[in-house]
Amino acid sequence: MRKTERILIAVLAIAICVWFLFPTIRWYAFVSPEDKALTTGSSLQVKEYSQGQARTALLYMEQNGSSEVPKEYSFVIELAKNQSREKGTSKTDIKTCSDVLSAFSASSDEGQAFMSAVEKHYREYIQSLKELSSKALQLGLDLKGGMSILLDVDPSSLAQRLGHEPSEAEISSAIDEDIEILKNRIDQFGMAEPEIRKQGTQQILIELAGTPDPERVDAFLKGKGALAFHLADSLSTQRAQAYYAQNPEEFQALAYALENNLPFTQPSFIPADRTIAGSFSTDAYGIEQLSGIVVIYRKAALDGGYLLSAEKGKDSTSSQPVVTFKISSEGGSIFYDFTKAHIGQPLSIVMDGHVKSTATIRDALSTNVQISGFTDEEAENIAIILKTASLPISVTVSSQQTVGASLGEDSVRIGLKAIVFGFVLVVIIMIALYAGSGIIADIALVMNLVIMVATLGGFGSTLTLTGIAGLILSVGMAVDANVIIFERIKDELKAGSLPKKAVSVGFSKALWTILDSNITTIIAAVVLIIFGSSAVKGFATTLAIGIVSSLFTSLFLSHLLMDLVVGEKISISWRRRTFK
């Protein structure tokens, strides 16, 4: 391979590392602790915060009309300019608080229009921070803390499914299945490495590192994956809507019951074989809200037991998020006969008791079904919950709380100091032993560390203290590779080879020795990843990444740097600084 091509590969590798590292650097270096705290709140808390900030901003503007807009509210100037452009005035001389409010004066309620714009600003800012946080390298429970969730299992739900009172062995087996399904869900939801284990005989403990989004946690915990198709009764739905429009107090009681899955009393005109179900949609904050009611038949036309797979996708015409799922051949036959017999009637898709979509049956449906009406995140969540199956035994959240770093800040600080000291010591020793070539080895070491951290951050891994140990061990092994290479080069120089040839032969002779030792270590790391506990997996994953990156930096990058700087002389020892 020509030198130019090797340089391009090295530059490309550095560019990819910078791309992967950028969110992590931005999150930990440029986001304030106050703003980081905002991302830990639920969607409801974000909504309350944004609306509160909007009210505070409006009050300040009204009370300080003649004053210039302060720095903390400087963003409202741009909001006012955008508003004036939408009005067609394109006013740019906006300096005072009254100027800002006047830009919104064309609206029927300038105060409300101003608050809506400011609220949107805060909402989008916090949502962007949450997105940035999800892309940054996450720290484990031992380094940063996280969330601890205790779940109580409900044996009665298992009894209902089995048709008899379950034995202790059956309950234990069902809990084990629950744990596997929850692990699969959490993994597919893209959350940090979880620790899930049985606690006692009828509880499950989940520990999530970092600051997981509470709504995402609720989604994988509360989603039972119970999907069913129910025929809807249009006439009864219209009568129910008219009835509750005339009786708003009763509708409030019904809405509360539907939102909290509580029993309720139906109006007498609803037939006994039908029930009122809630149709839910999400607002700009992702909060699920009751948007209407639908009267559906209690007996399902088809239940989720026939479901084979579910995937998130895009509608080919509207490009809106959809969930496409496949039904078994037996279920497809049942569904085809049912939909063929009810063409022209509305069909509701119900998941976990909530109506997700209602549409008129236009043609007979078989094994492939598509549902829409979701945001991207909703569609993804629904697809994950459906394809990871329903929980064999139902669970309820007993407690959900934030936990601190298990090692404590002092222990973490001491550990990081030890890491920095060890790395600096390695750098000094390499220079002391190999002079100018040692500097090249140190550059490769730094790049090795950068590649490892970038890979961990780019693939959403969680860094624990055992992971840091894997980082340091990988650095040491990378040094070992450079030592082997440099000793081979020195042997060639002593044998009378010219510097350039000595470098080429030295790398060639060291290649298989380095590969043999690293491949055996990778095999051990893979075994630990497959069979190890969560803490051991963190160490093994970091070690495996470190081995691969050290092979690249020691065999490729170091070789490239040596070829660039070595001419008629080479600096590889202080005893005899140069060889000719």
* Distances, alpha carbon 9 to alpha carbons 4, 5, 92, 560, in Å: 9, 6, 48, 10
What is the distance in angstroms between the CA of the first residue and the CA of the last residue of the chain?
Answer: 26
CATH at 194: 3.30.70.3400
Q: Is the pLDDT of residue 418 over 70?
A: yes
Q: How does pLDDT run across 158-176, given as a tens digit for each residue?
A: 887 777 888 888 888 888 8
240: nearest Cα among 279, 281, 270: 270
- Rounded to an integer, what distance in angstroms lies between the CA atom of residue 282 and that of residue 79? 25
Q: How does pLDDT run across 542-557, given as a tens digit for each residue?
A: 888 989 998 999 889 9
Q: 184-190: list long-range contacts, CB under 8 Å, 24+ apart.
A: 184/388, 185/220, 185/223, 185/384, 185/385, 185/388, 186/220, 188/384, 188/388, 189/216, 189/219, 189/220, 189/381, 189/384, 190/134, 190/460
CATH at 430: 1.20.1640.10
578: nearest Cα among 570, 247, 525, 79: 570
Contact of 301 with 352, CB cutoff 8 Å:
no
* Shared-domain flag, residues 559 and 479: yes
Report how many domains make up the chain. Answer: 4
* Shared-domain flag, residues 64 and 102: yes
* Shared-domain flag, residues 43 and 131: yes
For residue 96, the 8-state DSSP code is B
What radius of gyration do the chain's Cα atoms show?
31
Q: How does pLDDT run across 86-102, given as a tens digit for each residue?
A: 776 666 678 888 888 88
* Shared-domain flag, residues 291 and 242: yes
Dihedral of CA atoms 429, 430, 434, 437 in degrees, nearest 10, equals -150
Separation of CA 258 from chain center: 30
User: What are residue 314's DSSP bridge partners?
Assistant: 321
Q: How does pLDDT run across 344-371, given as a tens digit for each residue?
A: 888 888 877 788 778 788 788 777 777 6
Dihedral of CA atoms 446, 451, 453, 454 in degrees, nearest 10, equals 130
Q: Is the pLDDT of residue 332 over 60?
A: yes
Of the two residues 59 and 197, the one the predictor is more confident about is: 59
Of the two residues 478 and 117, the one the predictor is more confident about is: 117
* Shared-domain flag, residues 264 and 378: yes
Helices 465-494 & 408-458, crossing angle to 10 degrees? 60
* Shared-domain flag, residues 98 and 177: no
* Shared-domain flag, residues 489 and 423: yes
What token pair was written down for 171?
């309950």
Contact of 236 with 295, CB cutoff 8 Å:
yes
How many helices and strands (H and E) does the chain possess? Answer: 18, 17
For residue 73, the 8-state DSSP code is G
Query: What is the secondary structure of 457-486 as a DSSP string?
Result: HHTT-EE-HHHHHHHHHHHHHHHHHHHHHH
> Which of 360, 381, 403 is at the close of a domain?
403
- Rounded to an integer, what distance in angstroms lies between the CA atom of residue 149 and that of residue 223? 16
Question: How large is the average pLDDT for residues 372-384?
Answer: 66
Question: How large is the average pLDDT for residues 116-129?
Answer: 92
Q: What beta strand segments (E) does 75-199 contain?
A: 138-139, 146-153, 194-199
* Shared-domain flag, residues 231 and 368: yes
* Shared-domain flag, residues 535 and 570: yes
pTM: 0.71
Contact of 185 with 389, CB cutoff 8 Å:
no
CATH at 354: 3.30.1360.200
Question: How large is the average pLDDT for residues 142-157?
Answer: 80
Residue 106 pLDDT class (50, 70, 90 cuts): low
* Shared-domain flag, residues 322 and 206: no
* Shared-domain flag, residues 124 and 172: no
Q: Which of 354-363, 383-392, 505-514 has the highest mean pLDDT?
A: 505-514
Mean pLDDT score across all residues of the chain: 82
534: nearest Cα among 471, 477, 461, 476: 461
* Shared-domain flag, residues 149 and 98: no
Q: What beta strand segments (E) does 305-405 contain?
A: 307-314, 321-327, 346-351, 354-360, 368-372, 395-403
Helix (H) or strand (E) holding 291: strand 288-297
Contact of 536 with 506, CB cutoff 8 Å:
no
Residue 233 pLDDT class (50, 70, 90 cuts): very high
For residue 192, the 8-state DSSP code is P
Domain containing residue 143: 139-223+398-403
> Which of 375, 403, 431 is at the close of a domain?
403
13: nearest Cα among 453, 561, 570, 447: 447
What is the maximum span of the chain, computed from C-alpha positions, in angstroms? 103
